[in-house]
Amino acid sequence: MTQKYETDPDSQVETAEAIYFLQTDPTAENLMKFLAAAGSQMDLNPKFQFIAAKAKVALGISDPATHYFLLNYFEDIGNVYAAICCAESLLLEDEKNEVLIGKHAMLLADYNDNKKKELAQIRETFIKNRPDVTISIIMPTYNRHQYIGRAIESVMNQTFRDYEIIIVNDGGSRECEAIIESFQSEKIRYLYVEHGGLSLALNHGILASRSKYIAYLDDDDRYFPDHLQTLVSALESSCTFVYSDAFRAFHVYEDNKWNQISKTVELSYDFDPARFTENNYIPILCMAHRRDCFQQIGLFERDLPNAMDWDLWAKAAKLYDFKHLKKVTCIYEYRLGPDSLSGRQVDNLFFGIILRKHHQYLTRRVAIELSNKFGRGLIGYSELENTMLRYHCDKDQIAELLLHVTLAERKWHHAYSFITKLAREHPKRTFFTLRRLNSKISIPAQFFSFFILFFISFEYALKYGTRKYRVTLMIIPIALFILVFWVILLFSTAMPLRKERN
């Protein structure tokens, strides 16, 4: 039975203002103001509890109880993918929790079952909607008719002409229809769907597409005239995913109008699949790719109201290479206001955090699975390293994970690069890592690794001890003594084994 509660109008206005300020400027102070404004409603209104829980995670003040609440909340409303992400963030801290493992497995089974149905639907739809244009531009819109005309015009002004624009009205007002009709273009297709959020609107547009390639444009962003030509040319040269650079125009809402305060290129990174474990570095309007990729990776996750493009790129990057074109071909608007998606900072931060945890969890599982396959001889070292590099963003962690393999396989060049990298960044950690690996690697490998450590110590002595000759002179003989002692110790421990064999 649903509980009802009454609030006076002034309290409702105060709470709405507190939510707005928390969304646009997530600080501990604004969180406290929201909690005070929500007051007794918190216990009766799950929505307010949800807002508070998201804010706590975004601000880094959450605890396991917060993540459990979010896990159950998402599960109750049927957001399976978001629930999986919350479960995985808990499993990263408590990987042996049998109850949590069981719930995660149940959620994952449900998700995989739905994903199979989705992939089947995609294949059937794409067979039906065969390509008859080169590229489709998917443009979702929701109650922002004041901007959409400029976005459409930027597409109509493209030098590349073989395209279609699919505008998906996500259950918003129909005021945009007159603007769309004013262009009188057969290249524009308009869909009105029930409000389901940005991901669902994007998916409707993709399934309605009749093209070889897919591109994206929000209703308040713009392409420069050569945008499509630049991306399509790269795609036609056998690329699967390609992305350019963009200006970010930053706006704030003051005096009842939007004021632009800056315009910069904030993101311009070459493709690194492992970087997606940390953040999204490709704005959605910069991206274009083959449509048939959806048959492998699925559509945008409808359970993610934010960061759905980050999630899709991360999945695609495990299977495909992306090509970065270092050219600014478009501009996107970043608005801090009541109706702005980019202004919903709590949501942006929160979903970014749970996605980051999700990818970290996947990375850990992949590392374990790959190590087991390598140990059973099912894959070679090259495949092990390449796959690990595709998933891992932390290069130090990769070095630690692969070091024992390189030493065991006597891949001295790889081992040398891993040891030197680790030693220069974390000397103490390197020593204990190698000490821990002693029982797993051969005597030559042990000698090799600590020989490298000796030379790195010598390098440090020369670099940092030149002004203090006494320190330098002390470090060198001490390091030599440690090296000789270690070699003697290794051979002395190996002798009994040889005698027993004889």
Mean pLDDT by runs of 10 across the 502 residues of the chain is: 45 79 84 84 82 90 89 93 94 88 94 95 95 96 89 96 96 90 93 93 96 95 96 94 92 72 85 86 96 96 91 92 95 71 77 89 82 79 76 65 69 71 66 65 68 66 54 56 58 46 42
Predicted local confidence at residue 435, as pLDDT: 65
The yes or no reply on domain 129-343 and CATH 3.40.50.300 is no
Question: How many angstroms separate the CA atoms of 232 and 159, rounded?
Answer: 11
**Helix runs in 220-297, H state only:** 227-236, 294-297
| Closest CA relative to residue 121, chosen from 207, 212, 211, 215 | 207
* Residue found by looking up tokens 């073989």 in the block: 162
What pLDDT score was predicted for residue 310? 94
Q: Read off the tokens for 95.
A: 């990987």
Query: Cβ atoms within 10 A of the Cβ of 107, count?
Result: 22
Domains 9-111 and 129-343 share a fold: no
Predicted TM-score of the model (pTM)? 0.79
- The domain limits of the chain are 9-111, 129-343, 394-501
Counts of helices then strands in the chain (DSSP H, E): 20, 9
Give CA–CA dist 237/212, Å, rounded.
14
Do 28 and 34 meet the contact criterion of CB atoms below 8 Å apart? no
Nearest-CA neighbor of 31 among 320, 345, 485? 345
Which residue has tokens 């493992």? 101
> What does the pLDDT read at residue 289?
97
User: Which residue has tokens 């979903």?
Assistant: 351
| Neighbour-count burial for 352-364, b at 16+ CB within 10 Å, e otherwise | bbbbbbbbbbbbb
Closest CA to 334 of 251, 262, 224, 260: 251
CB 452 within 8 A of CB 419: yes
List the one residue out of 169, 207, 166, 204 whose CA is nearest residue 185. 166
DSSP codes joined into one string, 62-119: --HHHHHHHHHHHHHTT-HHHHHHHHHHHHHH-TT-HHHHHHHHHHHHHHHHHHHHHH
Residue 386 Cα distances to 10, 366, 367, 379, 403, angstroms? 59, 12, 12, 11, 14
Distances (CA, A) of 403 to 83, 108, 160: 35, 32, 50
- Residue type for 2, please? T
Pairwise CA distance, residues 453 & 467, whole Å: 23
Distance from C-alpha of 414 to C-alpha of 421, rounded to nearest angstrom: 11
What is 9-111's CATH number?
Answer: 1.25.40
DSSP 8-state secondary structure symbol assigned to residue 338:
T
Nearest residue to 111 via CA among 303, 296, 291:
303
